[in-house]
Structure 1
Amino acid sequence: MLLRYLSAAALALQSANAFKDASPFVLYSNSQLNAKDANVNIISAQSLQESVNHQIKGCPSDTYVFVSQPGVSANDLTLSKSTPHLRRRLSGKDDNVKSIFAAKNVVGEVDAMALVSTVSRECSTKTNTMNTLLLDGEKGEIPTQAYNAIHIRFPNLPTANDDRESALLQADSYLNSLLATLDSYTVLYAALNNIVPPQIQHPEQYEMDEPYPSNMHTDLKRDLNSHIARASNASNPQADLALFEKYQFLSPGIFMGGVVSILLFSILYVGISAIANLEVSYMAFSKEMGPAAQKKQQQQ
């Protein structure tokens, strides 16, 4: 009997671990979609992608709202009291919502950009241009003009119960205020971690390769920022300045050279003056050849 209970507990634990990384996915619209199943317990990310492609075929709505809230669970969307507007729409109590598709456990990571590409492909034939807007859920901005696709990114849900309920309530209220301004919409609500803003194309700029590595000639670069090119008097703002304001006549190099030159010339002057002041007769260095010299030699 005990062995049977242990086996059942092991199977339950294995089933729980199999879907611990699963996340919910919700799609609802005030347009009539090609939805086959309203509620699904377990679905793979690939099957979910195919189902969404089938439901939004033909682009029945004017605006598609992609809501990304990492860390959201199925209990947050169905059992929590902090999402009253979302629960009202998913339970069918909102008369404006005509199509509902909810998956409690999506196994695998949902490719948000694949969903965006599908919407762009389906709606490109219906509209000439695809206007996309990226919104920060914390700021609570409401767009004033119409967009074909709106991407809303909320921060990760906190783990604390009170903070989590507050974040869910704020997100639900903001999303309800945004949908109140739209006439025809389809909402895709999930933990879309890989959603990114639309890329802005910039023209490529030509970058010239450096002939020498930058770390070899950093100290040898001249500071040209303080000198203005003297192309002409009309384009040169220094043309009307005074002479001593326009040019620098005493640089540090000239100053040091002048000090050293004065020191060397002083030493040279002292040496020449000492030699010039010697008072020795010319006969002091000549050899005596007279009688007195011969007498001295005999005495020696």
Structure 2
Amino acid sequence: MKLSTTVALLACAASQAQAFSDSSPFILFSTANLRTPPSTPQLQTAAQVLTTAKSLLASCPTRRYLLVSQPNMHAADVRADSSSSDSSCRMPNLCRAAGGQNSWAVAEVVGQVSGKSLEEYIARACRGKKKEGVSVERVELRHLPAVSDREDGGEARRGEVLGDNDHELGKLLDTLDGDYTIVVFSDPNEFKAYEPDFGAPVRMDLRRWEEAPEVVAQRKANETDNRPLFEKYQFFTPGIFMAFIVLAVILSILGVGLKALASLEVSYGAFDKEMGPAAQKKQM
């Protein structure tokens, strides 16, 4: 397929490059003949793109596969202004390689394309076809600065990083033989899905941590308190004060009673029984 065909696929969304800032291009090209769809919408979801890409790779067309991830890439980075050459393409090596091979591309992919799922699918498909010597490699290129970062030379830094990544990709393409498939995708938001890694479960009892008695006794023995006696110990507590007050009330009552008993003045003979004639007359 000529370069103009690939450029046309990526240029369909030229006027919407800024409108879909959360989208990214997807490019698949191979040395094998792929049965690409007759028409390709240039705005698709990640699930739709992965479904089509897996259908193209289901037959395991080649023995070597390169999954190239270029985070934060947009369609404008691989779009050429001229349909006859790739001189205006910001990644000329990628545009040249994709234009000279049997390729399939989508300009605006909304969502995250997982390179791990593609790698697992290719390995599974080639295993089912019983092909030997199949290799799947993943290439992680440097993150590109954000498109909106145009201050302080942001656009220049983006072009510099893009050129370095394209140079690295060009050196990798030079080492390939005539039997390979390359998939270029991007995560525009530089988001990586969280994959929890749980170890073996640990069983332990939840209880309050307590020191051994001998450790506590040893620590208390080593501790010295140099405070004064009346600061170290409390001699008068609220309970002691209350006992003193109650004791004073009881003692005062007891004192009044004893004083009343002591004030009685009765002769000793007042309680003796009269036995004489006078007593008999009183009884009558």
Alignment TM class, shorter chain as reference: 0.5 to 0.7
- Do the aligned partners of 1:27 and 1:187 also contact (CA within 8 Å) in 2? yes
Amino acid across the alignment from 2:174: A
Distance in 1 of aligned mates of 2:26 and 2:72? 12
Q: Distance in 2 between matches of 1:199 and 1:58?
A: 32
TM-score (norm 1): 0.51
The whole-number CA distance in structure 1 between the counterparts of 2:51 and 2:205 is: 51
State which of 173, 176, 179 in structure 1 corresponds to 2:170: 176
Matches of 2:31 and 2:20 in 1, distance apart?
Answer: 31
Per-residue Cα deviation, 1:21-63 (whole angstroms, up to 9, x for no partner)? 2211111112222223486532333321221122112101112
Instruction: Output the CA distance in 1 between the equivalents of 2:31 and 2:47.
Output: 25
Distance (whole Å) between structure 2 residues aligned to residue 62 and residue 188 of structure 1: 14
Is 1:87 matched with 2:95?
Answer: yes
What is the CA–CA distance in structure 2 between the aligned matches of 1:24 and 1:59, rounded to whole Å? 23
* Counterpart residue number, 1:122: 125
Residue 181 of structure 2 corresponds to residue 186 of structure 1:
yes
- Could you say which residue in structure 2 is the equivalent of 1:65? 66
Residue 103 (structure 1) aligned to one of 91, 103, 106: 106
1:49 matched to which residue of 2? 50
Q: Name the CA distance, whole Å, in 2 between partners of 1:17 and 1:154.
A: 23
Distance 1:67 1:21 in 2: 19
| Local SS of the residue matching 2:139 | strand
More helix by share: 2
State whether residues 34 and 56 of structure 1, in contact with CA within 8 Å, keep that contact through their aligned partners in structure 2: no
Q: TM-score, normalised by structure 2?
A: 0.53
Superposed CA RMSD in Å reads 4.0
Q: Name structure 2 gaps, 5 residues minimum.
A: 1-15, 81-87, 147-153, 223-284
Contact map agreement 2:43 2:110 (CA 8 A) in 1? yes
Measure, in 2, the Cα distance between the counterparts of 1:115 and 1:90.
19
Amino acid at match of 1:89: A
Q: Is the 8 A contact 2:17 2:75 kept in 1?
A: no
Query: How do 1:1-300 and structure 2 match up within 5 A?
Result: 19-37=20-38, 40-79=41-80, 81-92=89-100, 97=101, 99-127=102-130, 148-159=135-146, 160-183=154-177, 184-192=179-187, 205=200, 207-210=202-205, 212-213=207-208, 216-217=209-210
SS in 2 for 1:36: coil
Is this contact kept in 1: 2:91–2:162, CA < 8 A? yes
Q: Per-residue CA shift, 1:227-268, capped at 9, x if unaligned?
A: xxxxxxxxxxxxxxxxxxxxxxxxx99x98xxxxxxxxxxxx
User: How much identity, in percent, do the aligned residues show?
Assistant: 25
